[in-house]
Amino acid sequence: MTTTVFLDLGKQPITNNFLKIQNPPNEFFYNLKIMFNEETKLVSLVDFVPPEKMFNETYAHRASMSLTMREAYKELSLKIKDRFNPKSILEIGSNDGVFLKNFLDIGPIGVEPCKNLAEITNSMNIKTYANFWNISLSNKVSNDNGKFEFIYSANTISHIQNLEEAISAVDNILTDNGVFVLEDPSLLEVLKNISYDQFYDEHAYVFSVTAINNLLKRTELEIFDIEKLTTHGGSNRIYIKKKKNKLNTSKIVSSTLKFEEDFGIDKLETYQKFAKSVEKSKNDLCSIFQNLKSKNNKIIGYGATYKSSTILNYCGLNSECIEYFVDTTKNKQGKFTPGTHIPIIKPDNYLKNDINFVFLGAWNFKNEIFNKEKKYIDNGGKFITHVPFPQII
């Protein structure tokens, strides 16, 4: 047996299933279990949820909803123009165009299976294919537009269950001198920060650089550079090229692989230890909530993230624990969190002072939120977070 299940996060709903009514009949649940493959070093969900159930015309997440991400994508686009100056660009998982809108001068192409999002980008002059990324789509896109000098995919390749096909489809449509950039949450950061909420239906995989490197060994592609990012709680931006492309390979590639090896990313014991820390994190977070609720504190949530769905459902935090969530995403407002049925409302300009504690669902945007809510904090308002360990801040 090369794969071992190391974590069971229990019954979980579809994270995109923001509910129109609080207690709907027949809500869909599946078992969220995570496994480690000792041969490939890949960490993945045991049971995949059918993609059509997750990525469809009701998709709520809008990547442009945070200033942090708008600025990060703007900065990245300048860097790409400066370093590679591509004449053609494709984004796999183009969401609402927050990245590609910086390349309107070269006729960017998007791929986005969520039709409501593809409609937005098509109306922004970004030709978008509202389909799932696979070999057959890559053939169609290349027949229509030719091959691409630059392919970017952030927070998407980890969502594609048929990983080998997704990578072959990229290889198929990349020019010989082209660059493919894959950006996804870092498994190392998940392990270090006990941020087990990176495991949910959409994240079929959480990648280490080691696992991506192993995967590419079986293809015509290889890693030549890596950037470590703070976005989404710690991500890797992995630069990939064809093996025959003579671009220099940065020393950061071998040093990152060595660092991950020293951390034990290739050892089952690391994951078994992580699973124990996850259980402790759950118990400690539940104790914080029990204690605060027993003193009748008013607790709300900030950012009804997909990630937080794992925490809420695993820890059993429902509307008795968290009165409501505030979230800037229009598609979530007036709805209820999946599985735990907590109302989601449009935020006022600032948090009111009758709120005693705020659970940080969007902990990955802590700095942006703390800047915005300075007045609440200065007046003694407190936040609850579970990363890197449950605490009140």
Footprint of ligand DWN on residues 100-159 (CB under 6 A)?
A: 155
Between 67 and 392, CB nearer to ligand DWN: 67
Between 211 and 253, CB nearer to ligand DWN: 211
CB of 49 to ligand DWN, least distance (A): 12
CB of 194 to ligand DWN, least distance (A): 16
**Tokens at residue 327, please?**
């979230």
Between 61 and 241, CB nearer to ligand DWN: 61
- Beta strands 148-154 and 3-13 are unpaired
Assess 261 for contact with ligand DWN (CB under 6 A): no
Q: Which amino acid is at 159?
A: H
**Tokens at residue 230, please?**
């703070």
Give the x-and-dash track for 60-89 against ligand DWN (CB under 6 A): -x---xx-----------------------
In angstroms, the Cα distances linking 373 to 53, 298, 328, 379 are: 35, 17, 14, 10
Among 119, 227, 323, 368, binds ligand DWN (CB under 6 A): 368
CB of 60 to ligand DWN, least distance (A): 7
Total site size for ligand DWN, rule CB under 6 A: 19
Assess 365 for contact with ligand DWN (CB under 6 A): yes
**Tokens at residue 359, please?**
């659970």
As a residue count, the chain comes to 393
Between 69 and 215, CB nearer to ligand DWN: 69
CB of 254 to ligand DWN, least distance (A): 28
CB of 249 to ligand DWN, least distance (A): 28
E strand or H helix that includes residue 137: helix 135-145
CB of 370 to ligand DWN, least distance (A): 10
User: If you write DSSP's letter for every residue of 269-337 in order, what string do you get?
Assistant: HHHHHHHHHHHHHHHHHHHHHHHHHHTT--EEEE---HHHHHHHHHHT--TTT---EE-S-TTTTTSB-
Assess 284 for contact with ligand DWN (CB under 6 A): no
Q: In 186-293, which ranges are E strands?
A: 205-206, 221-229, 235-242
In the complex, residue closest to ligand DWN by CB = 303
89 and 103 Cβ atoms separated by less than 8 Å: yes
d(CA 257, CA 229): 16
**Nearest Cα to 220, choosing from 182, 172, 254?**
172
**Contact residues for 195 (Cβ-Cβ < 8 A; gap 6+):** 189, 233, 234, 307, 363, 387, 388
3-state secondary structure 104-119: HHHCCEEECCCHHHHH
CB of 105 to ligand DWN, least distance (A): 26
SS3 (DSSP) at 173: helix
Q: Which amino acid is at 129?
A: Y
Footprint of ligand DWN on residues 335-364 (CB under 6 A)?
A: 362, 364
Between 323 and 368, CB nearer to ligand DWN: 368
CB of 326 to ligand DWN, least distance (A): 6
Single out the segment in contact with ligand DWN by CB under 6 A; choices: 103-111, 115-123, 167-175, 301-309: 301-309
Between 66 and 168, CB nearer to ligand DWN: 66
Give residue 119's Cα distance to chain centre: 22
Assess 260 for contact with ligand DWN (CB under 6 A): no
CA torsion sign for 123, 128, 131, 133 is negative
CB of 150 to ligand DWN, least distance (A): 20
Among 64, 145, 250, 328, binds ligand DWN (CB under 6 A): 328
Among 96, 112, 183, 327, binds ligand DWN (CB under 6 A): 327
Between 183 and 260, CB nearer to ligand DWN: 183
In angstroms, the Cα distances linking 130 to 161, 266, 324, 372 are: 18, 37, 33, 35
Footprint of ligand DWN on residues 151-170 (CB under 6 A)?
A: 155
Footprint of ligand DWN on residues 228-257 (CB under 6 A)?
A: 232
Assess 202 for contact with ligand DWN (CB under 6 A): yes
| Interacting residue ranges for ligand DWN, rule: CB under 6 A | 61, 65-66, 155, 202, 232, 303, 305-307, 327-329, 362, 364-365, 368-369, 372
